[in-house]
Amino acid sequence: MSLSLSVFPYVLAADYEYSYWVLDHPDGSDRYELNVSVSSSLYDYYVGKDHALRSELDLGKFVTPYAVEPIADSLWTLYEDDEDFANGVLMIVHQIPYEASAPQKYPVETIAANEGDCDLFSFVAASVMVAGGLDVVLLFYDSEDHMNIGVNLSHAPEDARTAVSYFTYNGERYYMAETTGGAWETGWRVGECPEPFEGVSAQIITLEDAEQVSPGQVSASFGSLTGSSSITLSVSSSFLIEGSSTVLSGVVAPASVDGIVTIYLRSDNSSWVILETMSCGLNGRYSYEWKPESAKVYYVRASWSGDSSHAGADSNVSSVRVMSSSLVLLGAMMIVLAAVAVVVYAVSRRVGKANEY
């Protein structure tokens, strides 16, 4: 891994869909295909988030459990034991192609790009495990320029094929979980330590700074995510005077009683931010009255995260131009003055002609 202080630039992306294989048990024979989809709006949101890194202690902010919670929920339908669950997560990250990367990225970015290195894989694995209820820490090996994670389990690992490795923190054992390696069926399991890191000390980074909320989530299911879904966005007025409001509304299909809609906003070349998150009605409709804070050109889009049968969907991007009230007043005054000037000119012409006779 490499630490970078750069800020990742804004990029407009498309939707991303990938499939990962997992086994019912590390030594099992039954394979299950997990389908995962990332919407472009969620990807763009994380691309635009702060990627600056002041020290290794900031690495915890790249762990985002809520955004990948559907992956954890899907895995828990397959496993009953926390060790099996953790090994299932490792099987997934072991299938993402290795590619050295800088700066650090959020899990949604790594899943969408389908590539990463030790720190990015560790962020993904830690995020899914935390979303699944496990206690996890990041393990940073400064001398080796490497990262993996430590996992606290309800029992010592029983499926490790080597002597079990762990770090102790606050009286708890965190079993090593190596996130790199491309052989997902026979790859590293919880408790196993790659030879280069045997006896090497690691800095333990706790996850108090992990992201607590997210504007949306990836879609994940062992079933198909091919169900058709869509979301529309209409703007009641695309041209506003400062201080006035417009209504943003649309429909999610298929209608979802518990469907959550996120409206994203950006202006000029800035990053996408969350304008509002709301539940849609029984008919899939949503509506939000928005009063822009200042005069400029804004861009808005709506997103639905999907469910166990449908991938998420994004709306079109609409623009809203807000005019300064002072400029509008100045323009109105200029029009009035111009009209007065025309009237004065016309009257003076008439007076002039009358005097000629």
* Radius of gyration of the chain measured on its C-alpha atoms: 28
Is residue 3 assigned to a domain?
no
Alpha-carbon separation of residue 124 from 71, 75, 303, 337 (angstroms): 11, 14, 22, 64
Indicate the residue among 172, 205, 238 that finishes a domain. 205
Question: Who wins on pLDDT, 15 or 231?
Answer: 231
pLDDT at residue 343 tops 60: no
Is residue 274 assigned to a domain?
yes
C-alpha 38/C-alpha 160 separation (Å) is 32
Confidence of residue 254 (pLDDT cuts 50, 70, 90): confident
The residues near 326 (Cβ < 8 Å, ≥ 6 apart) are: none
How many domains in the chain?
3
Instruction: Please report the pLDDT score of residue 286 as a whole number.
Output: 93
The strand pairing partners of 302, in sequence order, are 263
C-alpha 157/C-alpha 180 separation (Å) is 19
135 in the same domain as 42: yes
pLDDT at residue 347 tops 80: no
318 in the same domain as 341: no
pLDDT at residue 344 tops 90: no
Element (H, E) at 131: helix 118-131
The residues near 329 (Cβ < 8 Å, ≥ 6 apart) are: none
- We report the CATH number of the domain holding residue 262 as 2.60.40.730
231 in the same domain as 190: no
C-alpha 153/C-alpha 156 separation (Å) is 7
- We report the CATH number of the domain holding residue 130 as 3.10.620
The predicted-structure confidence for 171-200, as pLDDT tens digits, reads as follows 999 999 999 998 999 999 999 999 999 999
Q: For 227-239, what is the mean pLDDT?
A: 88
201 in the same domain as 56: yes
Is residue 4 assigned to a domain?
no
Is residue 216 assigned to a domain?
no
pLDDT at residue 151 tops 50: yes
Instruction: Please report the pLDDT score of residue 41 as a whole number.
Output: 93
Q: Which domain holds residue 247?
A: 226-323
175 in the same domain as 32: yes
334 in the same domain as 314: no
